[in-house]
Structure 1
Amino acid sequence: MILFVELLVLALVMLSIILVVGIPVTLASPGQWEKSKKLIYTSIGIWVGLIIITGVINSFIV
């Protein structure tokens, strides 16, 4: 169970790094926002889901 939480945290950290770099680059590039809007919103939804899932599963570990 602890290994699963650690993998969730690793996925959360990796996705956070990708979003911290990717969103400003996308917003600064001309015309990229219209092309990448759906991908960015999906990535943010996955990020929020990972936070909620990690918190819920972590609450079961004593």
Structure 2
Amino acid sequence: MVLLVQLLVLLLVILSIILVVGIPVTLASPGQWEKSRNLVYTSIGLWVGLVIVTGIINSFIV
């Protein structure tokens, strides 16, 4: 169970780094927002889901 939480946290950190770099680049590039808006929203939804799932699974560890 601890290994699962560690993997979820690793995925969360990797996705966070990608979003911290990717979203400002997307917003600063002319015309890119319209092309990649769905990808940005999907990535943010995945990040929120990972935070919630990691918190729930972490609550089972004593």
TM range (shorter): over 0.9
Q: How does 1:18-57 map to 2 (within 5 A)?
A: 18-57=18-57
Query: Structure 2: 5+ residue runs without aligned partners?
Result: none
**Separation of aligned partners in 2, 1:27 and 1:39:** 13
| Equivalent residues, number | 62
> Could you state the TM-score of these two structures normalised by the residue count of structure 1?
1.00
Query: Structure 1: 5+ residue runs without aligned partners?
Result: none
1:7 and 2:7 equivalent?
A: yes
Across the aligned residues of Structure 1 and Structure 2, the Cα RMSD in angstroms comes to 0.2
Report runs of 4+ in structure 1 exceeding 6 Å deviation: none
Identity of aligned residues (%): 81
